[in-house]
Amino acid sequence: MTKPLHILYVGPIDQDGTCRHRLEALQRLGQEVECITTTNPFRNVGSKFLRRVFVKLSRHVDLRGANKKILQRLSQGQWDVLWVDNGFIIHPATLQQAKVRQRGLVRVSYSPDDMLNPKTHTRRYLAAIPYYDLHVTTKSYNVSELEKLGAPRAFFVGNAYQPEVHRPVEVTEADRERLGVAPVGFIGECYDKRAEIMNALARDGMPIAFRCPSWPRHRPRPTDLRIIEGYLAGDDYARFLCGCKIVLCFLHKGNRDLQTTRSVEIPACGVFMLAERTDEHLALFREGVEAEFFGDYEELLRKTRYYLEHEEERQRIAGEGRRRCLESGYSNVDRLQAVLQQIAQVRAGQSLTSR
């Protein structure tokens, strides 16, 4: 039996998001995980303006003293892995000192976003790239880019769902009213031209609702689209998805997305997904069998209208999409098993070079 890894896990774990899901998956895989949080301590301040200020600040300032805490913890015991999730504020010097204090330590950077997007990365992250032993990214194009910037090893892993969260759930009429559920729905930020596209669908008679955390002050609200503000997590996230007949999946152009977490979370809930067509989406799900895709507005409108009217076909595709998630290993536990194999290879290589 393989000995569990002793992992120091650093990331925004104090909120219900994919970082916490990965932490829980590592624990389910039998690893010994201890945590240092980088969660913005001011994320729940009352003013929307102040929240936006602190969100931007938290990308550049170590508000929780994570760098200092990392070195303290590394001095207090033996560790196998330093796992940094969303490492915007981790100093290169911290990573260098970590290796000095624990020679066999594997320093892992996990990035669920396009960390080379100028609006996403920080100077500190770019400077730290060569000091991680392994970069894990959900963006396939980031692999070669990271290697050109000095990453010793970069690994692409697909997006994942959390079985305890993303699964079919019962939705009551009270839930539908409370959450603003509509036959066609979308959950996400107000990026790109999503709102304009959904507003056009609403004008063309599609019953659609847009759930977004908050509406940007500088953008005028669409006239026909129903917008419900507020962050959804846990069971309410699943309830909103399961309450819709069709859930749209738009990709973030600024992140150069070819797939996103919702690409697997929606089908995992047993819900019919209508997503933008990309090569990676087509590799995840068979078109017209396990999910549906569109390439332009006309195709989006036509398929939305068609599947609202053909319930049996829609439900069959939704069921096959969930089956694909279960059988093809799209869960966090499955995805992170592949990452642990990469870590094992790095450790084996370090062992050889130290002889």
Closest CA to 20 of 162, 135, 187: 162
CATH number for 202: 3.40.50.2000
Which residue bears the tokens 């398929």?
303
Are residues 313 and 197 part of one domain? yes
Cβ-proximal residues to 239 (8 Å cutoff; 6+ apart), any chain: 169, 171, 175, 179, 181
Q: 10 Å Cβ neighbour count for 75?
A: 10
Are residues 321 and 178 part of one domain? yes
CA distances 86 to 52, 122, 137, 174, 218, Å, are 18, 11, 10, 37, 27
- pTM for this structure? 0.92
Q: What share of the chain is helix, strand, coil (3-state, %, to 5)?
A: 45, 15, 40
Separation between Cα atoms, residue 229 and residue 215, nearest integer Å: 7
Number of domains in the chain: 2
What confidence score (pLDDT) does residue 53 get?
A: 53
Sheet holding 292-294, edge to edge: 226-229, 208-212, 184-187, 246-249, 272-276, 292-294
Are residues 154 and 10 part of one domain? yes
Closest CA to 107 of 77, 138, 137, 128: 128
| Residue 204 within any structural domain of the chain | yes
DSSP result, 138-159: S-TTHHHHHHHTT-S-EEE---
Separation between Cα atoms, residue 56 and residue 304, nearest integer Å: 36
Cβ-proximal residues to 77 (8 Å cutoff; 6+ apart), any chain: 6
Q: Which domain holds residue 337?
A: 6-160+331-353
Are residues 107 and 49 part of one domain? yes
Q: Along the 355 residues of the chain, how does pLDDT read in single tens digits?
A: 578 999 999 999 877 789 999 999 999 999 999 999 998 765 655 556 555 654 565 566 788 899 999 999 999 989 999 999 989 899 999 999 999 999 999 999 999 889 888 877 788 999 999 999 999 999 999 999 999 999 999 999 999 999 999 999 999 999 999 999 999 999 999 888 999 999 999 999 999 999 998 888 878 888 899 999 988 988 999 999 999 999 999 999 888 999 999 999 999 999 999 999 999 999 999 999 999 999 999 999 999 999 999 999 999 999 999 999 999 999 999 999 999 999 999 999 875 565 4
- Helix, strand or coil for residue 287? strand
- Residue ranges of alpha helices (H) inside the chain are 18-28, 48-58, 66-74, 92-101, 123-128, 142-148, 173-179, 194-203, 234-243, 262-268, 279-284, 297-309, 311-327, 332-353
pLDDT in tens, 189-221: 988 899 999 999 999 999 999 999 888 887 888
What confidence score (pLDDT) does residue 180 get?
A: 95
C-alpha 139: how far from chain center: 11
What confidence score (pLDDT) does residue 355 get?
A: 44
Are residues 121 and 19 part of one domain? yes
| Residue 76 within any structural domain of the chain | yes
One-letter amino acid identity for 317?
I
| Residue 166 within any structural domain of the chain | no
| Residue 120 within any structural domain of the chain | yes
pLDDT in tens, 340-350: 999 999 999 87
Are residues 343 and 266 part of one domain? no
Are residues 302 and 200 part of one domain? yes
